[in-house]
Amino acid sequence: MSAELTIKVRVAAASDEAEDIRRLELVSLDGSLLPAFSAGSHIDVYLSEKIIRQYSLCNAPSERTQYVIAVLRDPQGRGGSAAVHELKVGDEILISAPRNLFELRPEGNSLLVAGGIGITPILSMAQSLAAEGRPFSMHYATRTRKRTAFLEKIRTSAFAPSVSHYWSQEQDGQKLELDHLLRSPKPDDHLYVCGPRHFMDAVIKTATESGWPEGNIHYEFFAGEVMRLDSDEAFSVQIASSGQSISVGPEQTVVEALAAVGIEIPTSCEQGICGTCLTGILRGEPEHRDMFLTAEEQACNDKFLPCCSRSKSRILVLDL
Ligand code: FES
């Protein structure tokens, strides 16, 4: 962790935003403005030496006095959400400056689609688009009203008429018909989707089948979720210093395969965002699936993020 890249903030407010969802307001220690951010940005939150998690900012980018995050408690999680839920008003924590891997395009009509806690970046986008007077509609799917974060904020917002709610477990809940929602895209329509894995897979698949160009579909996976494809195949990695060869199964990450034979690669986000697991490559061609390296760095093929990236070649020789 590099000290100059972190900011110490104080928890100014902590409340239950919805069932199992905790909302935190983070402010600077001296009351100064926080670094500017754009809708779709996330921050790294340093919860302990070993636990760093990425959370989207859900407030309006015009609000520089605070960052708002909302975190779903994940009983199957690795401790990040539980640690956030324990934070109290007055606690001081380190965060990174905001980073945006899920940016709004400067043009076009925006279709915002959120599933569950995926509302966090989408809400910031809605506020940003509304403030700029740009056309958009927002579609927000949750199980019940009680599990719907920011329900009241959305209901009382100026953009409430642009929002449709879908509650899968409410008697009067409207069903989200993706075929209908995503049909006949216009060339300047842009789709932004965030939510649980199965939800995003369904939205992206339907959009693709409905003729949305790949470049107009924008999405961000949650922390801890790594892109896996049915077409993923096994390959081998070789440790340059020892010559040891380790096979990586179709359902394994390189980090998991190495850990299984006792080779530990330090990790944090485990989804290609933070760069902690960056590893050099001496031979072979990686299949980059991270969001950490720039396109130019990826094109060099001399390093990759083994928590999420795979291999196009049968063997990757790692600089380990
Ligand atoms: Fe964060 Fe691999 S652990 S990029």
Each residue of 240-287: pLDDT tens digit? 999 999 999 998 999 999 999 999 998 877 778 778 899 999 999 999
In terms of pLDDT, which residue wins out, 284 or 222? 284
**Comparing 76-85, 95-104, 205-214, which segment has the lowest mean pLDDT?**
76-85
pLDDT at residue 87, rounded to an integer: 96
* Atom number of ligand 1 nearest to Cα 307: 2
In terms of pLDDT, which residue wins out, 270 or 288? 288
What is the residue whose two structure tokens read 């902590």?
Answer: 14
Say if residue 99's pLDDT is above 60: yes
Closest CA to 283 of 236, 256, 320, 318: 318
pLDDT at residue 222, rounded to an integer: 63
Compute the C-alpha angle 54/160/15, nearest 5°: 45
Q: From the CB of 226, is ligand 1 less than 6 Å away?
A: no
Q: From the CB of 273, is ligand 1 less than 6 Å away?
A: yes
For the segment 12-29, what is each residue's pLDDT rounded down to a tens digit? 999 999 999 999 999 999
* Atom number of ligand 1 nearest to Cα 292: 4
pLDDT band of residue 294 (cuts 50, 70, 90) is confident
Question: Quick check: 58 and 13 in contact, CB under 8 A?
Answer: no
pLDDT band of residue 1 (cuts 50, 70, 90) is very low
Q: From the CB of 224, is ligand 1 less than 6 Å away?
A: no
Mean pLDDT, residues 35-43: 95
pLDDT band of residue 10 (cuts 50, 70, 90) is very high
**Comparing 1-15, 83-97, 104-118, 227-241, which segment has the lowest mean pLDDT?**
1-15
Mean pLDDT, residues 121-135: 97
| C-alpha of residue 119 to centroid of ligand 1, in Å | 24
pLDDT band of residue 112 (cuts 50, 70, 90) is very high
Calculate the alpha carbon distances from 19 to 85, 143, 195 in Å. 12, 11, 16
Mean pLDDT, residues 32-57: 90
Mean pLDDT, residues 171-190: 94
| C-alpha of residue 266 to centroid of ligand 1, in Å | 8
State the pTM of this model.
0.78
Say if residue 199's pLDDT is above 50: yes
Q: What is the mean pLDDT of the chain?
A: 91
Q: From the CB of 268, is ligand 1 less than 6 Å away?
A: yes
pLDDT at residue 3, rounded to an integer: 39
Cα separation of 277 and 271, whole Å? 10
Residue 72's Cα: distance from chain center in Å? 13
Please state the φ and ψ torsions of residue 28, each to the nearest 5 degrees: -70, 160
Structure tokens at 36: 């500017």
Structure tokens at 67: 């960052």
